[in-house]
Amino acid sequence: MKRRDFLKSVSGLAAGAALPAVPQVVSSAYADARSETLLIVSEGGPNNLDIHGVGTNVPGYEVSWNCYDRLISHEMKSGPGGVPYYDRDKFKGELAEEFKIDDVSVTFKLRKNAKFHDGTPVTAKDVKWSLDRAVSVGGFPTFQMSAGSLTKPEQFVVIDDHTVRVDFLRKDRLTIPDLAVIVPCIVNSELVKKNASEKDPWGLEFTKQQTAGSGAYKVTKWTAGTEVIMERNDDWACGPLPKIKRVIWRMVPQAGNRRALLERGDADISYELPNKDFQEMKANGKLNVVSLPFSNGIQYIGMNVTKPPFDNPKVRQAVAYALPYQKIMDAVMFGLANPMFGAPKDKPTEVVWPQPHKYNTDMDKAKALMAEAGYASGFETTISFDLNFAGVNEPLCVLVQESLAQIGIKTTINKVPGANWRTELNKKEMPLFTNVFSGWLDYPEYFFYWCYHGNNSVFNTMSYKSAEMDKFIDGARTAAAAGDTAAYESDVKGFIDLAYTDIPRIPLYQPFVNVAMQKNVSGYQYWFHRRLDYRAMAKG
Amino acid sequence: MLTMIGKRLMFAIPSLIGVVIVTFLLTRALPGDPAAYFAGPAATKEAVEQIRKKLGLDKPLIEQFFRYTNDLAHGDFGNSLTTGQPVATEIRNRLPASAELTLLGLIVSIAIAIPLGVLAATRPGSWIDHLCRVTTTAGVSLPVFFTGLVLVYVFYFRLGWSPAPLGRLDVFYSAPPTVTGFYLIDTLLAHDVEAFRSALSQLILPATTLAIFSLAPIARMTRASMLAVLASEFVRTARASGLSPTTVIVTYAFRNAMLPVITTLSMVFSFLLGANVLVEKVFAWPGIGSYAVEALISSDFAPVQGFVLTMAVMYVLLNLVIDILYGVIDPRVRLEG
């Protein structure tokens, strides 16, 4: 080595030695950013930032919920385990300062200081345009609006700049709750109209890529399938200023890695992990794990009642006696679910949903029923499940297969890819299957309307039709709208009893929503949509 | 040389046309119904039909095909329904991520496998030969996602040496301005040393995973082909003429042993692009493989077609590069060409 080179390399070394001071500065800025930032890791991310869009997925709902405001929202109450839980029956104004409900309509007075992210004030015409949009775009949003009898643009009337009236189509208990779900969000109509085209009059292409709301957060960067970055809207007028300044939501497809990120303290919050992980994390106590039952949700075994052998109620009852309920609770759910089976014989039916049925694993009874039905030697069939939820569905189906074999029912397991599942459900040809249904609106008649009514919606996966059932369900809806409690209660009890004697679908359990977070993260709230509400959350 | 490249490219055209037709038909033959999928869980039959119309899936197959090829000719790959973005943009953004990872993995792998193979061949039966055999057997018998998970568990979860497996950069760094799309190069061009360090440390584990997987074919092929060449007469002549062992091995034997190794390399590279899918999943890497798989799961036609087409083009180019390399290494090939 030449002398000059040597000197050079020594001075280079000295410069290198001085370097570590620089990262120090970087990392303290880093620490600040960290304490005001919420890092969420989950399996999937949004495909559209607007819930009115074509085929917006469930993660997209979370963006909509946090970046848009609605006219009204729910109050909080203390739920199971003291976790804040939305109060189904109490509403508060969000964009509306106050609202008055009478027999034929509801009138909203808007907040005068509410502004969209671009600074334009929120006015009554934005509200009308947004609600018109929700009932007109078709697909899921329109469908959800119709669940609350909100179907026509004429129902939304602008009174003045800050007053809007929503006229009722008919008396329906679900109209007000339906205005507090995610769909009727208020969109910046001027901004979106500017970016709409003749082919796309509602500007769906524009709002797919960016948020145009007045909500507490706005999306500043979205890389589909990779990350969503949301910044707080410091001018948010509809509630106290949220504590979290920035939300970084990263997609980490590997469940094991999400758990590692949480346990190492790199991620703040995660959901969609296997039940076993949640149970272990609960047990070792390093993280806060919140588990709350899905409101109005049930995992069940369904049977197609239009075709033999499941058209015979005796066979269905036999299956109901043959299912390995407790094994499923222990080995598949690791206890993270509410059992929906084995209620005591003498327990009267209550006016709540979901509630356990009275079947229990009883092989002798099941065999006797099979013999009565004329299937003493059993039969062959297939059991289908949705591969998107294979983590639960696959072991569950294997256990069911094993149990049914004991009463002579030989089943083949049919794994249906996620993309196909809905097509298969719509065909209504699968003889035996497992599935989950959960309704946003937490009312028994709402659940039964979708799942048991003879109008045969896609969720009536069993193709169950019974005039008596329809009478109970329609009766309960009418009674609820009219406020006739006695008739309502008798109808609700009526349809629950009938659903459990006829047993076209056998409830297994009410699943839990599991969320794991660092100990320094607080303010988690349970919402009917089961996604996160960043507005109430805080760190440190 | 130019005529050879031109000829090769001409040959590629019919295969590309074939790929376009086959992917179009295959995606249409998939059992899923995208309209039902995207109409959402609560959709009525009418809603599904509405969506089908919006997506243009109610048109006859042949019309859909012509529309598709017409769009392709205009450089429009269509829109992905799952991510909501134009496919061409997505592929352009994601391909560099996969390419950077695959190339780095391959370079690491070559840097280890070729010396290992050469050493094993020169000393058959020695400890280094056994080491070569054991590492390659282990590498090839471990599935990539498993190696990936083990590496994450040990180096991130247990030891904490490696950064969180959260994609290409630490969440608190912003991506460098895109020049090449390779973060290692772009961060340096932007003089952002911190980001470069972050990008590099994010790359180490996934690249190692890929390297471990691809060690075996390269090392084994190098060893076998070196053994064959070392046993040949011209090597014996060279040795007999008193040339130094280094000259014999490097100049004469190695260069002749390279041809099968190059062929293997091209195969390994295509292999790695496939194996990438799993590695990308494990390391939350925003690459092209995970994109295609997700699209496939949701019967999202456009990205699947775009992906297959891009891959086909890449294979054609790759094969071309290999052919040119043959010519560089072996003059006989040049002469024939």
DSSP string, A113-160: T-B-TTSPBP-HHHHHHHHHHHHHS-HHHHHHHHTTT---GGGEEEEE
The DSSP call for residue B254 is I
A252 interfacial to chain B (CB closer than 8 Å): yes
A272-276, B32-36, B236-240, B332-336: which has the minimum mean pLDDT? Answer: B332-336
State the nearest Cα–Cα gap between A27 and chain B, in angstroms: 10
Q: Which of residues 439-468 of A touch B (CB under 8 A)?
A: 450, 457-459
Place of tokens 């052919």: B323
A87 interfacial to chain B (CB closer than 8 Å): no
What angle, 0 to 180 degrees and rounded to 10, lies between the N-to-C axes of helices B144-151 and B193-230? 130
B276 interfacial to chain A (CB closer than 8 Å): no
From A26, A39, A423, residue closest to B32, measured CB to CB:
A423
A120-129, A313-322, B47-56, B231-240: which has the minimum mean pLDDT? Answer: B47-56
Is the predicted pLDDT of residue A404 greater than 90, yes or no?
Answer: yes
B281 interfacial to chain A (CB closer than 8 Å): yes
State the nearest Cα–Cα gap between A272 and chain B, in angstroms: 15
B286 contacts A260? CB cut-off 8 A: no
Q: How many CB atoms lie within 10 A of CB B101?
A: 27
3-state DSSP percent of chain B in helix, strand and coil, to 5: 75, 0, 25
Q: Alpha-carbon distance A252 to B285, whole Å? A: 9
Highest mean pLDDT range out of A446-460, A469-483, B40-54, B294-308?
Answer: A469-483
pLDDT tens column, A304-324: 999 888 999 999 999 999 999
Who wins on pLDDT, B172 or B13? B13
From B45, B84, B283, residue closest to A224, measured CB to CB:
B84
A426 contacts B48? CB cut-off 8 A: yes
pLDDT tens column, A373-388: 989 888 999 999 988 7
The DSSP call for residue B164 is P
Place of tokens 């049919």: A414
Q: Alpha-carbon distance A130 to A214, whole Å? A: 12
Contact A484, A501 (CB under 8 A): no
* Secondary structure element (H or E) that encloses residue A315, with its range: helix A313-322
Query: Which residue in A427, A449, A523, A455 sits closest to A173, CA to CA?
Result: A449
Identify all chain A residues contacting B149, using CB atoms and an 8 Å cutoff: 254, 256-257
**Residue A186 in tokens:** 């208020």
B81 contacts A426? CB cut-off 8 A: no
Question: How high is the pLDDT of residue A74?
Answer: 94
pLDDT-derived band at A32, boundaries 50, 70, 90: low
Residue B109, CA distances (Å) to B123, B141, B211, B282 in order: 21, 16, 5, 20
**Closest CA in chain B for residue A51:** B40
Question: How high is the pLDDT of residue A405?
Answer: 93
Q: Alpha-carbon distance B221 to B227, whole Å? A: 10
Question: How high is the pLDDT of residue A7?
Answer: 41
Q: How many CB atoms lie within 10 A of CB A70?
A: 24
Question: How high is the pLDDT of residue B305?
Answer: 83
Mutate to test the interface with A, among B30, B37, B149, B294 (most CBs of A within 10 A): B37
**Residue B177 in tokens:** 């301005």
State the nearest Cα–Cα gap between A413 and chain B, in angstroms: 18
Q: Which residues contact B58 (CB under 8 A, 6 or more apart)?
A: B49, B52
Query: Which residue in B55, B176, B37, B195 sits closest to A417, CA to CA?
Result: B37
Identify residue A356 by its one-letter amino acid code. Answer: P
Is the predicted pLDDT of residue A218 greater than 90, yes or no?
Answer: yes
Mutate to test the interface with B, among A47, A137, A421, A427 (most CBs of B within 10 A): A47
Contact A508, A323 (CB under 8 A): yes
pLDDT above 70: percentage of residues in chain B: 92
A15 interfacial to chain B (CB closer than 8 Å): no
Indicate left, alpha or beta for B125 from its phi (over 0: left) and psi (-120 to 50: alpha). left
State the nearest Cα–Cα gap between A263 and chain B, in angstroms: 8
Who wins on pLDDT, B235 or B300? B235
Q: Which of residues 27-46 of A touch B (CB under 8 A)?
A: 30, 33-34, 37, 39, 41
Question: How high is the pLDDT of residue B42?
Answer: 56
B171 contacts A55? CB cut-off 8 A: no
B165 contacts A420? CB cut-off 8 A: no
Residue B258, CA distances (Å) to B22, B118, B323 in order: 35, 11, 13
Identify all chain B residues contacting A23, using CB atoms and an 8 Å cutoff: 194
Highest mean pLDDT range out of A389-403, B10-24, B41-55, B148-162?
Answer: A389-403
In chain B the first and final C-alpha atoms are separated, in Å, by 8
Q: Which of residues 91-130 of B touch A (CB under 8 A)?
A: 93
Identify all chain A residues contacting B201, using CB atoms and an 8 Å cutoff: none
- What's the distance, CA A46 to chain centroid? 14
Average pLDDT over residues B273-277: 74
Q: Which residues contact A434 (CB under 8 A, 6 or more apart)?
A: A299, A300, A301, A302, A383, A384, A385, A393, A396, A397, A400, A508
Q: Alpha-carbon distance A130 to A143, whole Å? A: 15
Contact A93, A147 (CB under 8 A): no
B82 interfacial to chain A (CB closer than 8 Å): yes
B282 interfacial to chain A (CB closer than 8 Å): yes
Question: How high is the pLDDT of residue A3?
Answer: 45
Average pLDDT over residues A191-209: 89
pLDDT tens column, A327-373: 999 999 988 899 999 889 888 888 888 899 999 999 999 999 999 99
Question: How high is the pLDDT of residue B84?
Answer: 67
The DSSP call for residue A345 is T
Q: Alpha-carbon distance A109 to B235, whole Å? A: 94
Identify all chain B residues contacting A139, using CB atoms and an 8 Å cutoff: 39-40, 43, 47, 50-51
Identify all chain B residues contacting A227, using CB atoms and an 8 Å cutoff: 167, 171
A264 contacts B156? CB cut-off 8 A: yes
B286 contacts A223? CB cut-off 8 A: yes
**Residue B183 in tokens:** 């973060």
Is the predicted pLDDT of residue B319 greater than 70, yes or no?
Answer: yes
What angle, 0 to 180 degrees and rounded to 10, lies between the N-to-C axes of helices B193-230 and B127-141? 120
From A48, A252, A419, residue closest to B299, measured CB to CB:
A419
Query: Which residue in A529, A518, A534 sits closest to A240, CA to CA?
Result: A534
* Secondary structure element (H or E) that encloses residue A508, with its range: strand A505-517
B30 interfacial to chain A (CB closer than 8 Å): yes
pLDDT-derived band at B336, boundaries 50, 70, 90: low
Q: Alpha-carbon distance A231 to A215, whole Å? A: 11
Q: Which residue spans within A295-360 are E strands per DSSP?
A: 297-303, 337-339
Identify all chain B residues contacting A458, using CB atoms and an 8 Å cutoff: 41-44
Q: Alpha-carbon distance B307 to A477, whole Å? A: 50
From B45, B50, B83, residue closest to A225, measured CB to CB:
B83
Is the predicted pLDDT of residue B68 greater than 90, yes or no?
Answer: no
Provide the mean pLDDT of chain B. 82
Whether ipTM tops 0.90, in short, is no
How do strand A163-167 and strand A156-160 relate by DSSP bridges?
antiparallel
pTM above 0.95, yes or no: no
How do strand A505-517 and strand A337-339 relate by DSSP bridges?
antiparallel
b/e per residue, B39-63, with b = 16+ CB within 10 A? bbbbbbeebbebbbebbeeeeeeee
A267 contacts B164? CB cut-off 8 A: yes
pLDDT above 70: percentage of residues in chain A: 94
State the nearest Cα–Cα gap between B78 and chain A, in angstroms: 14
pLDDT-derived band at B50, boundaries 50, 70, 90: confident
* Secondary structure element (H or E) that encloses residue B218, with its range: helix B193-230
A406 interfacial to chain B (CB closer than 8 Å): no
Instruction: Give the SS3 label for residue A246.
Output: strand
Identify residue B10 by its one-letter amino acid code. Answer: M
Average pLDDT over residues B60-82: 80
